[in-house]
Amino acid sequence: MAFLTRGDRQAFSVIYNAYSSALYGVIARIITDEEAAADLLQEAFIKIWNSRASYDPSRGRLFTWLLNIARNTAIDTTRSKQYKAGQKIQPIDNSVKQVNRSSRIAVNYDSIGLKETVAKLKPELRQIIDLLYFGGYTQEEAAKELNMPVGTVKTRTRNALIQLRELMEVKKDER
Amino acid sequence: MNVKEYIASGILEAYALGSCAQAEKEEVEAKLAQYPELREELRLIEQSLGTYASLYAKEPPAGLQNKIASALFGNEENKGKVIGLRPNALTLPRWLAAAAAALLLATTFSAIVLYSMLSDSNERFAETEKENSLLNSSLAQRDSAIGSMNKEMALLKDPMSQLIVLKGMKKAPDAKAMVVWNKKTNEVYLEVERLPQAPQGMQYQFWAIVDGKPVDAGMIHTDSAGMHRMKDFEKADAFAITLEKEGGSPVPNLEEMYAMGKP
């Protein structure tokens, strides 16, 4: 995406407007304290901006790259000694938060909102996504947490994403 | 390798979810480079994951955009300029030129010595005189030192400037950096004198310890010498340099502390 290489304030505005709510949403799911989440979004954008030359379009979509930076920034915080000392790691709760239907993200999910999607996801598969993606667990750690073999976790991971793909109705020609 | 089996194993899903360890990640990336079917599969996985993640989208607080833009691009006054070297001809008072010439082991620390001659003495500066013996003597370094002295002299001569020497910690006892902190404007400048080469994918990060808490003060770019403007601080108990992964970290890795100094 040319905007990223431009690196000026206007380019930043475009990217912020397009992606900030998705990135903030992911961060806020991992670190529930709003002030901390805002700080982390800033950290993420600074990292994004400083490392923008390293984004390789042939390796994947820009959105994926941005999401990973935001997610990793938040996950790293949960691993820091200070964070662990200061508070328990937020348990992954099952309450569904109100989604802000930002029209900036052009996503072809029609009328499927968060609530509906989550309701359709099999609970044990959703749990895996929560643990791995939002919780930052490795599959081994998830296996310990759920008291099951790693093999089961791996199968569930595969199935979770298969179901997700069905729900998201990902089309091959989608941008 | 059986591509279908590899896809069925769920390793690509784990990779996309970020739950692979570093070694596994590298393995996956090697396979991805080799097999276009894997790349296509990953693309579909990442797409659906991205769509799912965006369902959790949440409006960030108002004003955060400006705050981040200011941090990245500065506001009117603060352009975040790197104060580079000025190896041009300069005019120094004769006594100063003589002093500069006399300092054959000149690096930027000679600026500290000169400052100590100019200003009221401070026990902090006495230490650095001993350190001059560690400095290399090369023509290039001396020239650049004399050039940068000009700029740094201006900074140091300001009575509101405070000089803090960051000394090497256990990780690198020879590490050294210099911080100039203007207490009036809150501007903080960092000059790295000596730091080990950062490994690939890693980068040095500068911190201010404020009320006992480390606060990010900016990433360190060791490819350009001289004084670099870092983030402004109104107060700080100490300054430190840690080694982090490229791009930095919101909290310092205290096991990778390379230098520290107190005002």
From the CB of residue B199, how many other CB atoms can be counted at a distance below 10 Å?
A: 10
Residue A115 pLDDT exceeds 50? yes
B134–chain A Cβ distance below 8 A for any pair: no
Residue A25 to residue B72, Cβ atoms within 8 A: no
Judge whether A91 and A105 are in contact, CB under 8 Å: no
Residue B247 to residue A9, Cβ atoms within 8 A: no
Where does the pLDDT of residue B45 fall: very low under 50, low under 70, confident under 90, or very high at 90 and above?
A: very high
- Residue of chain A with shortest Cα separation from B252: A80
**In a 3-state reduction of DSSP, which class is residue A51?**
coil
Judge whether B111 and B149 are in contact, CB under 8 Å: yes
Helix (H) or strand (E) holding A158: helix A150-168
Residue % of chain A over a pLDDT of 90: 49
Judge whether A125 and A142 are in contact, CB under 8 Å: no
Cβ-proximal residues to A98 (8 Å cutoff; 6+ apart), any chain: none
* pTM, 2 dp: 0.53
* Cα gap A22→A164, rounded to integer Å: 17
* Cα gap B249→B54, rounded to integer Å: 24
Residue B150 pLDDT exceeds 90? no
All residues of chain A having their beta carbon less than 8 Å from the beta carbon of residue B55 are: 99, 109, 113-114, 117
Where does the pLDDT of residue B193 fall: very low under 50, low under 70, confident under 90, or very high at 90 and above?
A: confident
**pLDDT value at residue B170:** 87
Residue A46 to residue B248, Cβ atoms within 8 A: yes
Residue B54 to residue A22, Cβ atoms within 8 A: yes
Residue A144 pLDDT exceeds 90? yes
**pLDDT value at residue B124:** 46
Residue B78 pLDDT exceeds 50? no
User: What does the mean pLDDT of chain B come to?
Assistant: 78
pLDDT digits (tens, 9 = 90+) for B219-233: 998 887 788 889 999
Which amino acid, A72?
A: N
Axis-axis angle for helices A34-50, B64-73 (nearest 10): 30
Where does the pLDDT of residue A18 fall: very low under 50, low under 70, confident under 90, or very high at 90 and above?
A: confident
Residue B41 pLDDT exceeds 50? yes
From the CB of residue B34, how many other CB atoms can be counted at a distance below 10 Å?
A: 12
Q: What is the DSSP letter of A150?
A: H
Residue B95 pLDDT exceeds 80? no
Planar angle of CA A78, A87, A140, nearest 5 degrees: 45
* Cα gap B61→B31, rounded to integer Å: 41
From the CB of residue B22, how many other CB atoms can be counted at a distance below 10 Å?
A: 7
Q: What is the end-to-end Cα distance of chain A in Å, rounded?
A: 13
* Cα gap B64→A73, rounded to integer Å: 17
Q: In what order do the strands lie in the sheet with B257-261?
A: B82-83, B227-229, B188-194, B176-182, B161-168, B257-261, B238-245, B202-210, B213-219
User: What does the mean pLDDT of chain A come to?
Assistant: 79
Where does the pLDDT of residue B92 fall: very low under 50, low under 70, confident under 90, or very high at 90 and above?
A: low
Three-state helix/strand/coil letters over A58-97: HHCCHHHHHHHHHHHHHHHHHHCHHHHHHCCCCCCCCCCC
B154–chain A Cβ distance below 8 A for any pair: no
Planar angle of CA A76, A80, A86, nearest 5 degrees: 125
Task: Please compute, for residue B150, the number of CA atoms within 13 A of its CA located in the half-sphere on the CB side.
Answer: 17
Residue A4 pLDDT exceeds 50? yes
Q: How far is B32 from chain A (nearest CA, A)?
A: 9
Judge whether A135 and A145 are in contact, CB under 8 Å: no
Q: Which of residues 235-254 of B touch A (CB under 8 A)?
A: 246-251, 254
* Cα gap B152→B198, rounded to integer Å: 26
Look at strands B161-168 and B202-210 and give their pairing: unpaired
* Cα gap B163→B222, rounded to integer Å: 20
Cα-flanking dihedrals φ and ψ of residue B231, to 5°?
-75, 150
